[in-house]
Amino acid sequence: MVTNHGPRGFKDATPYNHYSLLRTIEQSLGLACLEFTCDTANVQPLAPLFKVTGAIPVRTTTASEPNSATPSPMPTEPITYTAHTDTSADWSVVPASARDR
């Protein structure tokens, strides 16, 4: 779990599942639990990972946006086809209809 607040370097051996996040949100907002988040034996809230500790903030820098060209929405692709190919080695050439050209 990555958070911008809470204990730094905290390791929690509690087994969590995807219902744990939902239960954490429910508890934070004072909502009633949904069917599977009410299973208190198997669903633990992530509250220990979000506990505000007053830790000193870590200074970070923001990466600048790369200066790259914006791709066009529709690249230009060459459209070519073979007008005539001989039949050989048991292969038959079937020419495209005029409609397909």
Give 50-98 pLDDT, tens digit per residue. 777 666 777 888 888 888 877 777 767 777 776 666 777 777 777 666 5
> Whole-model pTM?
0.44
pLDDT at 6 over 70: no
Q: Rounded distance, CA 10 to CA 3, Å?
A: 11
Cα three-residue angle 52-24-55, rounded to 5 degrees? 10
Band (pLDDT 50/70/90 cuts) for residue 101 is low
Six-digit token pair at 5? 């607040």
3-state secondary structure of 91: strand
Of the candidates 68, 30, 24, 72, the one whose C-alpha atom is nearest the C-alpha of residue 46 is 24
Delimit the domains of the chain by residue range.
Answer: 1-55
